[in-house]
Amino acid sequence: MAGPAPGTPGVLRAMNDRAALDLLLAHGPLSRTRIGSLTGLSKPTASQLLARLEAAGLVVAAGTTTGRPGPGARLYGVNPAAARVAGLDVTPDRITAAVADLTGRVVGSSEVPCAGSGGPAGQTSRALDGALAAAGLSRGDLRRAVIALPGSFDRRTGILRHAGHLPDGWQSPALPEELAAALSVPVGYENDVNLAAVAEQRLGAARGHDDFVLLWNGAGLGAAVVLGGRLHRGRTGGAGEVGFLPVPGRPLVRQAARAGAGGFQDLAGAGAVVALAAGLGLAPPPAGGPAAGAGGAAQAAAAAALLRRAAAEPEGAQLRLLRRYATALATGLAALVAVLDPELVILSGAVTDAGGAALRDLVQAELADLAPSAPRLVPGGVRERPVLRGALESALATTRDEVFDTSRR
């Protein structure tokens, strides 16, 4: 059934409804007078709008104003229970799930090993059910889920590429259908670094910026590219796989996708930090300390510990480590800046985070020498689980568009 024609009272009411709901999300509970002031609506129109949204179950009374003489004005807020969403962050070691209400507040979370009985679908279901149980909810309460994956999800074929580090089953062409059937809710899939960029765009350092690059350096080296306010994924979903980028100072890697490595990963990944430190005579972290674990996560922890120590006491060999690593990072970044000319570059992930402002300032200075333009370098603003937060924000964006559309009610 067709909705109201453009420009009709129904469409205008729906536009006003959405504007008011977005204001409530941005500011928290507001009075009728304040909503009218922010939207430019008259008091009677604002009253009708709130009554309509309350009847639709989209807003609820949220107390009264205080601190003024006389009775307090009634406050209204978005109804948190109008919809719930889930986000899941898949890593080689574990799957972390979280459930949020419509306001974005996390109400439950859970974590399970990535490998185990039932394969990807079984483990993902267990993680989701654990988060729902922690929130006192069931599958029927969920509107949507978004899964963050450490690889390139090709939307044309449904195949997860560059994910050989995940347990068996995650690379299957049938994975999307298996997960959708197991979770019993609409499911979206996205690269993990892309979702970290979504979190920064909506909540963190990239708010107000339409063109930016996020360089993620943790267990792997990757980037997210946002152009004109939208994620750029590329034809196969592989935009931002900068670990494969050929760079000066490293041999060309033929058939890089099969090798699972490339110039920039070798030059500036976590392993490069450990190798640089060893060449400078810097001792690695104590066994059983920050580097405890296995595989890429252990190497990233070792690199982070070395950089953290160097940033705390930047002198001698530790200062040389920071300078050499800054040059390595700036070498790859210069190629990205030359092609994309972004407003902003966000340095994120455990390895670069550990270097702090000391490393970031050195990278900024090197980039000014190596690149034709000098975008501002900033740390990520979403400090706690940015990938998982991005998965929730992605699910919330789609869900709010659906739930807040009152033109068809």
DSSP 121-183: HHHHHHHHHHHHHHHT--GGGEEEEEEEESSEEETTTTEEES-TTSPTTTT-TTHHHHHHHHH
Burial degree of 95 (CB within 10 A; 0-12, 13-18, 19+): buried
Contact 104, 55 (CB under 8 A): no
pLDDT score for 250: 86
pLDDT score for 352: 96
Structural domain 9-78, CATH architecture: Orthogonal Bundle (1.10)
Contact 257, 278 (CB under 8 A): no
- Over residues 224-239, the pLDDT tens digits come to 999 999 999 998 888 9
- Over residues 255-267, the pLDDT tens digits come to 776 666 678 999 9
* CA dist., res. 373 & res. 378, Å (int): 16
- The continuous run of DSSP H or E covering 78 comes out as strand 74-78
Strands (E), 234-273: none
pLDDT score for 87: 98
Q: What is the mean pLDDT of residues 5-10?
A: 65
CATH number for region 82-196+388-402: 3.30.420.40
Which of the pair, 159 or 378, is modelled with greater confidence?
378
Q: What are the residue ranges spanned by the domains of the chain?
A: 9-78, 82-196+388-402, 207-380
DSSP 80: G
DSSP 276-323: HHHHTTPPPPPTTSTT-SSHHHHHHHHHHHHHHHHHHS-SHHHHHHHH
Residue 108: both structure tokens together: 């439950």
Residues, the chain: 409
Which of the pair, 245 or 166, is modelled with greater confidence?
245
What spatial distance separates the first Cα and last Cα of the chain, rounded to whole Å?
A: 12
Query: pLDDT band at residue 7, thresholds of 50, 70 and 90?
Result: low
Hey, do 9-78 and 207-380 end up sharing a CATH topology, with the first three levels equal? no
- Over residues 136-149, the pLDDT tens digits come to 999 999 999 999 99
- Over residues 56-75, the pLDDT tens digits come to 999 999 888 765 544 568 89
Domain 207-380 has CATH 3.30.420.40: yes
- Over residues 379-409, the pLDDT tens digits come to 999 999 999 999 999 999 999 999 999 887 7
pLDDT score for 393: 98
